[in-house]
């Protein structure tokens, strides 16, 4: 359809050029009362029905017609103004567009001011250099290196992530923190060494984890393992895979580094249970609970 913007009584209106119409149709609510004539005409619609409507003399300024015209006034036409095949009407393919109308047509939306890419202002290397040379971050970098907690002004404490756990691409859904089975298999295979005691197979992992209390579950995009089942699997295979031993030792060291009593050997199961109860966030795993020695089970190694 050929639709353009126009003016009717100094109001912006939508104008349709309709070659199937033999007159002009105007939305009645747009016509001033003093423009109406004391006259009515019967219009025959495209479906063969007829309607009796009032007549008005109005002035139109549009790409398809400019000037005064006698129009039928209807309550709810499809467009504010419909121009049919009347004397002086331009063809649908040949509207008379003024320079201002052409500008509006070609650029209907104003361009946003775009500062350009950040790469035009500063490079990634510059950002890294600024971060490394920022003295205000030195204390935070020291805390990360030492695995220490830091205290907020509100008095709450946060712990930094365990570096080893950052290798696992944890995600979060309505059920909590999880890991895709394929991601776990990929992680284990990428870190597998010749002296590992077992062969890594996806079906073996699924079969084993399915027996755990928290099991695993299926979604449209694949099989997901809850965080609790992930840690149970890692600790269960402490002696089978070097990467499991390294990750578990990292967790053990983190949990016991603040102990004021001589370190004793903890059972893997007690550590697993404690870790299971802690709060984790995807890809930035944090242990928020300070584990006390009295909270752990110990093995008497003497």
pLDDT for 53: 93
d(CA 103, CA 259): 74
Are the beta carbons of 43 and 35 closer than 8 angstroms? no
78-123 pLDDT, tens per residue?
A: 899 999 999 999 998 888 776 555 555 555 556 666 656 666 667 7
Residue 301's pLDDT is what?
A: 41
CA distances from residue 158 to 87, 111, 162, 183, 290 in whole angstroms, order as listed: 80, 45, 12, 28, 10
CA gap 281, 170 in Å, rounded:
8
Confidence (pLDDT) at 293: 42
In the chain the first and final C-alpha atoms are separated, in Å, by: 92
Residue, of 155 and 260, whose pLDDT is higher: 155
The span from the CA of 162 to the CA of 157, in Å, is 16
Do 178 and 290 meet the contact criterion of CB atoms below 8 Å apart?
A: no
Compute the distance between CA of residue 97 and CA of residue 274 in angstroms, rounded to an integer: 75
d(CA 245, CA 257): 17
Q: What values do phi and psi take at 182, rounded to 5?
A: -65, -35
pLDDT at 182: 92
pLDDT in tens, 158-167: 444 566 676 7
Q: How far is CA 15 from CA 62, 77, 211, in A?
A: 7, 11, 70
Mean pLDDT of 274-299: 45
Q: What's the pLDDT score for residue 262?
A: 44
52 falls in which pLDDT band (50, 70, 90)?
Answer: very high
243, 188 Cβ separation under 8 angstroms? yes
Look at residue 54 and tell me whether its pLDDT is greater than 90.
yes
Which residue is it, tokens 């003024």?
98
For the residues 48-68, what does the mean pLDDT come to? 91
pLDDT at 168: 81
Question: Average of pLDDT values for 198-223?
Answer: 89
User: Which two three-digit tokens encode residue 209?
Assistant: 């984890």
CB 102 within 8 A of CB 56: no
Q: Go through the domains of the chain in sequence order and give each one's CATH number.
A: 2-106 (2.40.70.10), 141-295 (no CATH)
Which backbone phi and psi does 30 adopt, to 5 degrees? -90, -5
pLDDT, mean over the chain: 76
**In the block, which residue shows the tokens 């695993």?**
216
Listed ranges 98-112, 212-226, 263-277, 280-294; the one with the highest mean pLDDT: 212-226
Residue identified by tokens 């419909």 is 82
DSSP codes joined into one string, 271-296:
HHHHHHTS---TTS----S---GGGS
Contact of 175 with 191, CB cutoff 8 Å: no
pLDDT at 283: 44
What is d(CA 219, CA 2) in angstroms, rounded to the nearest whole number? 49
Per-residue pLDDT at 273 exceeds 70? no
171: β partners = 178
Q: How confident is the model at residue 73 (pLDDT cuts 50, 70, 90)?
A: very high
Look at residue 171 and tell me whether its pLDDT is greater than 80.
yes
116 Rama class: left (phi>0) / alpha (psi -120 to 50) / beta: left
Res. 284: pLDDT tops 50? no
Percent of the chain with pLDDT over 90: 23
Kindly report the CA angle at 187 between 184 and 189, in degrees rounded to 5?
110
In eight-state DSSP terms, residue 237 is T
Mean of pLDDT values over 272-296: 46
Across the chain, which distance is largest between two alpha carbons, in Å? 114
CB 93 within 8 A of CB 19: no
């Amino acid at each position: 359809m050929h639709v353009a913007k126009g003016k009717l009584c100094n109001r912006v209106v939508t104008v349709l050029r309709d070659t199937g119409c033999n007159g002009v149709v105007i939305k009645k609510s747009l016509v001033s009362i003093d423009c109406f004539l004391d006259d009515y005409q019967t219009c025959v619609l495209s479906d063969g029905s007829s309607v009796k409507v009032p007549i008005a003399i109005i002035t139109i300024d549009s790409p398809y017609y400019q000037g005064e015209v006698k129009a039928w006034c209807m309550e709810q036409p499809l467009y504010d103004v419909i121009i049919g095949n009347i004397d002086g009407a331009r063809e649908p393919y040949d509207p008379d567009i003024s320079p201002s109308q052409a500008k509006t047509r070609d650029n209907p939306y104003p361009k946003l001011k775009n500062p350009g890419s950040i790469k035009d202002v500063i490079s990634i290397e510059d950002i890294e250099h600024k971060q490394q040379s920022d003295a205000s971050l030195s204390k935070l970098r020291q805390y990360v290196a030492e695995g220490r907690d830091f205290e907020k002004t509100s008095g709450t404490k946060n712990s930094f992530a365990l570096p080893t756990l950052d290798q696992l691409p944890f995600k979060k859904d309505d059920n909590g923190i999880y890991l895709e089975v394929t991601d776990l298999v990929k992680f284990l295979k990428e870190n597998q060494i010749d002296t590992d005691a077992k062969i890594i197979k996806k079906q073996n992992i699924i079969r084993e984890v399915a027996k755990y209390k928290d099991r695993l579950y299926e979604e449209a995009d694949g099989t997901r393992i809850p965080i609790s089942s992930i840690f149970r699997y890692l600790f269960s295979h402490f002696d089978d895979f070097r990467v499991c031993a390294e990750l578990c030792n990292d967790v053990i060291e983190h949990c016991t580094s603040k102990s004021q009593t001589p370190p004793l050997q903890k059972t893997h199961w007690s550590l697993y249970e404690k870790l299971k109860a802690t709060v984790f966030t995807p890809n930035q795993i944090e242990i928020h609970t300070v584990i006390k020695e009295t909270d752990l089970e110990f093995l008497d190694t003497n």
